């Protein structure tokens, strides 16, 4: 892009396809995290007490999913930074 792209302001025009790709990536990653987070919260409710108490890796599934919220968010942040270059 050159300065002559926009004759009115003299500024370069933004690449709309790149902005659209980054927007789709951002909302997709947010949706993944949101579904995981809400799933972990729902698993902790009394209605799903049996599922939350299922042993998984030596601890109850509910505890494991709750503890996995931060590592999952960090992994998604890393994916975002790598993919948005």
Residue 10 is predicted with a pLDDT of 61
* 6-42 pLDDT, tens digit each: 666 666 767 788 889 889 999 999 999 999 999 999 9
Q: What HEC string does the chain produce?
A: CCHHHCCCCCCCCCCHHHHHHHHHHHHHHHHHHHHHHHHHHHHCCHHHHHHHCCEECCEEHHHHHHHCHHHHHHHHHHHHHHHCC
């Amino acid at each position: 892009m050159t300065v002559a792209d926009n004759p009115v302001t003299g500024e370069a025009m933004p690449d709309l396809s790149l902005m659209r790709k980054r927007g789709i990536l951002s909302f997709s990653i947010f949706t993944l995290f949101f579904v995981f987070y809400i799933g972990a919260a729902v698993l902790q409710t009394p209605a799903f007490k049996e599922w939350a108490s299922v042993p998984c890796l030596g601890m109850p599934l509910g505890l494991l999913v709750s503890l996995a919220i931060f590592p999952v968010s960090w992994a998604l942040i890393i994916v975002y930074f790598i993919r948005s270059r």
